[in-house]
């Protein structure tokens, strides 16, 4: 009897919770209302069966409760009941899956006039590429990946020269134009997800995954990685800014092309007399260092850079080392050579040129510590 009542409370509570929950989805900002519709269908079908099955259990537990002198009859086979159950289950499952199949077929079949957007995932950062005036993306291959060419674009492919390279984690898109996303990964399984667009796709290393959407609301939306891809996974975030065509074109003009980045790899960073720490800050962003290292003293996967310079670090083996320019450069070049006490030895080896190394060390130094000089964040 108590069990029947408890089940009844769970059923009523679940339905009420669904209706009054504050955790509704974010407002839709793309053409994919169908994604919301399929979710609603799934909730309706599973919700219906959840309520019916549990109420049936409540009824039987109450109706056939133990009474002195009564014996249960044993009737294991009922062809009629089985036919009904198979029939209803089949209709329910078809109703659950069929709309999703139709939506998915649309989702991976972009309109032919779609703007191309390449998304490249790497532990633990995002990079982007957009076509130039020709509207084409040049070829890429893992063997071309280097510090100066992090996307691994084919230097000999003429179609790639005017491609817009975005080495930060924020990309802009024009309002109301279909976008075909081509997603690649440099290392492990990632998943590019922008919740308000209701659009996401797994990114499998070694292949290009694709889907499309049309942004329908201007705004700055957070994009995130939706596959557990290592310790830096929760920090693998970025932004997609949706704006009108004029603002988008203006933003596009400010971004370097692949050819520019090859001519002068520092073209992506600000120039000037005190450029080194600023360049290091841009590198810390584009190389993904900031996924694990904070500059405000808060704990991260790796040591915070606030006050790191000039500090004496203790290693796992008990030895100590002064954090100076040489230490930082050594550590970035060869992160596995020694392990700092209190941190897992998981820092990935990143490709950096000598100039980039100097810029990074100078930026880390500028974040304070014994002999650090302050720099504007």
How far apart are the C-alpha atoms of 264 and 262, rounded to whole Å? 6
* CA quadruple 372, 358, 262, 149: dihedral sign: negative
How far apart are the C-alpha atoms of 26 and 219, rounded to whole Å? 13
Helix (H, G, I), strand (E, B) or coil at 135: coil
233 is a contact residue toward ligand CUA (CB under 6 A): yes
238 is a contact residue toward ligand CUA (CB under 6 A): no
Residue 305, phi-psi category: left (phi > 0), alpha (psi -120 to 50), beta (remainder): alpha
- Of 229, 269, 332, 361, the residue at the interface with ligand CUA (CB under 6 A) is 229
Nearer to ligand CUA, 129 or 200 (CB): 200
227 is a contact residue toward ligand CUA (CB under 6 A): yes
120 is a contact residue toward ligand CUA (CB under 6 A): no
Cβ atoms 269, 356 nearer than 8 A: no
Q: How many CA atoms lie within 13 A of 50 on its CB side?
A: 14
Minimal distance, residue 192 CB to ligand CUA, in Å: 9
Q: Residues in contact with ligand CUA, total (CB under 6 A)? A: 8
Nearer to ligand CUA, 228 or 250 (CB): 228
Minimal distance, residue 202 CB to ligand CUA, in Å: 10
Q: Which of residues 182-201 bind ligand CUA (CB under 6 A)?
A: 190
225 is a contact residue toward ligand CUA (CB under 6 A): yes
Cβ atoms 223, 118 nearer than 8 A: no
Q: Which stretch binds ligand CUA (CB under 6 A): 38-46, 130-138, 139-147, 226-234?
A: 226-234
State CA 241 to chain mean position distance.
Answer: 15
Residue 261's nearest CA partner among 127, 125, 141, 358 is 127
288 is a contact residue toward ligand CUA (CB under 6 A): no
Minimal distance, residue 206 CB to ligand CUA, in Å: 16
Q: Which of residues 335-354 bind ligand CUA (CB under 6 A)?
A: none
Cβ atoms 66, 4 nearer than 8 A: no
How far apart are the C-alpha atoms of 45 and 92, rounded to whole Å? 7
Alpha-carbon distances, residue 140 vs 118, 128, 152, 261 (angstroms): 11, 13, 5, 15
138 is a contact residue toward ligand CUA (CB under 6 A): no
Nearer to ligand CUA, 121 or 368 (CB): 121
Residue 348's nearest CA partner among 282, 287, 281, 265 is 287
Minimal distance, residue 193 CB to ligand CUA, in Å: 10
Binding mask 139-178 for ligand CUA (x = CB under 6 A): ----------------------------------------
| Bridge partners of residue 181, in order along the sequence | 117, 211
Minimal distance, residue 190 CB to ligand CUA, in Å: 4
236 is a contact residue toward ligand CUA (CB under 6 A): yes
210 is a contact residue toward ligand CUA (CB under 6 A): no
Minimal distance, residue 230 CB to ligand CUA, in Å: 7
Nearer to ligand CUA, 127 or 190 (CB): 190
How far apart are the C-alpha atoms of 292 and 281, rounded to whole Å? 14
Q: Which residues bind ligand CUA (CB under 6 A)?
A: 121, 190, 225, 227-229, 233, 236
């Amino acid at each position: 009897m108590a069990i029947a009542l408890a089940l009844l409370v769970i059923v009523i509570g679940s339905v009420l919770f669904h209706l009054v929950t504050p955790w509704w989805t974010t407002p839709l900002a793309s053409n994919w209302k169908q994604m919301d519709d399929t979710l609603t269908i799934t909730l309706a079908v599973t919700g219906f069966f959840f309520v019916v099955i549990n109420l049936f259990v409540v009824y039987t537990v109450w109706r056939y409760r133990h009474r002195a002198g009564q014996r249960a009859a044993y009737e294991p086979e009922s062809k009629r009941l089985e036919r009904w159950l198979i029939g209803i289950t089949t209709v329910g499952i078809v109703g659950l899956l069929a709309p999703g199949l139709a939506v998915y077929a649309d989702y991976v079949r972009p309109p032919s006039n779609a703007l191309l957007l390449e998304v490249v995932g790497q532990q633990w950062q995002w990079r982007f590429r957009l076509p130039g005036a020709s509207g084409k993306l040049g070829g890429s291959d893992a063997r071309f990946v280097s510090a100066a060419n992090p996307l691994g674009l084919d230097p000999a492919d003429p179609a790639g020269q005017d491609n817009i390279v975005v080495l930060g984690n924020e990309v802009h898109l024009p309002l109301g134009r279909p976008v075909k996303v081509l997603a690649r990964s440099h290392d492990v399984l990632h998943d590019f997800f922008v919740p308000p667009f209701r659009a996401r796709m797994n990114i499998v290393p070694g292949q290009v995954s694709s889907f499309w959407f049309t942004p329908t609301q201007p705004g700055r939306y957070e994009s995130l990685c939706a596959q557990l891809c290592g310790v830096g996974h929760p920090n693998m975030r970025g932004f997609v800014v949706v704006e009108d065509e004029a603002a988008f074109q203006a933003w596009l003009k400010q971004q370097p092309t692949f050819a520019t980045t090859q001519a002068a790899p520092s073209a992506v960073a600000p120039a000037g007399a005190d450029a080194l720490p600023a360049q290091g800050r841009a590198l810390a962003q584009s190389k993904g260092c900031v996924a694990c290292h904070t500059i405000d003293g808060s704990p991260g996967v790796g040591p915070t850079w606030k006050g790191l310079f000039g500090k004496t670090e203790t290693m796992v083996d008990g030895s100590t080392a002064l954090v100076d320019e040489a230490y930082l450069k050594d550590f970035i070049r060869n992160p596995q050579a020694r392990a700092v006490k209190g941190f897992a030895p998981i820092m990935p080896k990143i490709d950096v040129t000598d100039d980039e190394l100097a810029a990074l060390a100078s930026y880390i130094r500028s974040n304070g510590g014994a002999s650090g000089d302050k720099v504007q964040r």
